[in-house]
């Protein structure tokens, strides 16, 4: 079945973890007394970039800034749909300066950036499906921001409530397998969501691939799919098997050092959709 899955070449914006550290705690994964091996983090990150490039994807990079250790998590900086950029306003004061540097990159690349009025953490909580935006709330991005996103893009925005602090961003609990009109589908961990939000996902995606808590805790839901290849944490072994059974090709990439800050493959990957 994997031969029937067609990859689509993507353009990704990333940021090297040159200044990566765990200096504060803003999610359950972060412990400031944790030792971080910056060299290992950079090596793992470079492996991810090489994996993207070897599959034909285009990479752009933002220059990392000293004192902003979480800037590596580029996905949180914005959401880009149809060449339009909706920026970020972080919940944590420690991360708010990151927005300025990403906004400058987008503006220098010729994009206008819409600044949110409400707390909004980019693709961390805003997932473009090809038809509408799935939008997480409960820990970071607010429902008010969901309304702003809908007004800006003119696409339907479907609010989903997250209930487990380990899955504080939507992109830790759900990812899009295929955003084409024909094969549109997702993977998600049901228990990360409120009962009503689970019911919404069941109606929208009756054929979704469901993940276990072990998959989710291994950052298996913080994956990136190009429609055929799924760049996934190797620790999410059971999920990789299920993806293979559904005709996708798992591409394991270990970002375990970055997991110490609560981020993985998708967190490091901002997609620029023209």
What pLDDT shows up at residue 229?
98
**How long a stretch of residues is the chain?**
274
Give the residue among 191, 204, 167, 185 at the shortest CA–CA distance from 243: 185
Kindly report the pTM of this predicted structure: 0.97
Placement of tokens 């959401």 in the chain: 79
Q: Which of 15, 120, 267, 268 is catalytic?
A: 267
What topology does CATH give the domain 2-271?
Answer: 3.75.10
The strand pairing partners of 126, in sequence order, are 135
What pLDDT shows up at residue 182?
76
Q: Which of 57, 91, 146, 169 is catalytic?
A: 169
Asked whether 236 and 218 are in contact (CB, 8 A), the reply is yes
User: Residue 235 and residue 214: Cα distance in Å, rounded?
Assistant: 9
Asked whether 220 and 211 are in contact (CB, 8 A), the reply is yes
> Tokens for 95?
């991360």
- Each residue's pLDDT, cut to its tens digit, for the chain (274 residues) gives 557 899 999 999 999 999 999 999 999 999 998 999 999 999 999 999 999 999 999 999 999 999 999 999 999 999 999 999 999 999 999 999 999 999 999 999 999 999 999 999 999 999 999 999 999 999 999 999 999 999 999 999 999 999 999 999 999 999 999 998 777 999 999 999 999 999 999 999 999 999 999 999 999 999 999 999 999 999 999 999 999 999 999 999 999 999 999 999 999 999 999 9
- Other C-beta atoms closer than 10 Å to the C-beta of 131 total 13
Domain-wise residue ranges, the chain: 2-271
Give the residue among 60, 55, 1, 4 at the shortest CA–CA distance from 180: 4
User: Is 15 among the residues known to form the active site?
Assistant: no
Give the residue among 16, 36, 15 at the shortest CA–CA distance from 260: 36
What pLDDT shows up at residue 2?
58
Give the residue among 86, 139, 140, 141 at the shortest CA–CA distance from 111: 86
User: Is 35 among the residues known to form the active site?
Assistant: no
> Tokens for 259?
């997991």
């Amino acid at each position: 079945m994997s031969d029937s899955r067609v990859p689509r070449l993507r353009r990704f914006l990333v940021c090297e973890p040159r200044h990566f550290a765990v200096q504060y705690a803003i999610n359950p994964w972060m412990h400031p007394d944790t030792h971080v091996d910056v060299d290992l983090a950079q090596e793992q990150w470079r492996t991810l970039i090489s994996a993207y490039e070897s599959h034909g994807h285009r990479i752009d990079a933002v220059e990392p800034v000293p004192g902003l250790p979480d800037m590596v998590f580029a996905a949180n900086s914005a959401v880009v749909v149809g060449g339009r950029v909706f920026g970020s306003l972080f919940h944590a004061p420690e991360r708010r300066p990151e927005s300025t540097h990403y906004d400058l990159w987008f503006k220098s690349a010729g994009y206008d950036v819409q600044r949110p009025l409400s707390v909004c953490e980019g693709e961390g909580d805003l997932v473009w499906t090809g038809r509408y935006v799935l939008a997480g709330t409960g820990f970071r991005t607010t429902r008010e921001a969901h309304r702003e996103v809908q007004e800006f893009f003119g696409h339907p925005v479907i609010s989903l409530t997250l209930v487990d602090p380990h899955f504080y961003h939507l992109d830790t609990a759900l990812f899009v397998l295929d955003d084409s009109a024909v094969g549109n589908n997702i993977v998600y961990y049901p228990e990360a969501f409120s009962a009503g939000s689970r019911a919404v996902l069941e109606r929208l995606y009756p054929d979704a691939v469901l993940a276990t808590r072990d998959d989710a805790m291994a950052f298996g839901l913080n994956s990136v799919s190009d429609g055929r290849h799924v760049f996934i944490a190797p620790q999410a072994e059971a999920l990789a098997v299920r993806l293979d059974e559904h005709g996708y090709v798992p591409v394991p990439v270990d970002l375990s050092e970055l997991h110490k800050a609560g981020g993985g493959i998708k967190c490091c990957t901002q997609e620029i959709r023209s």
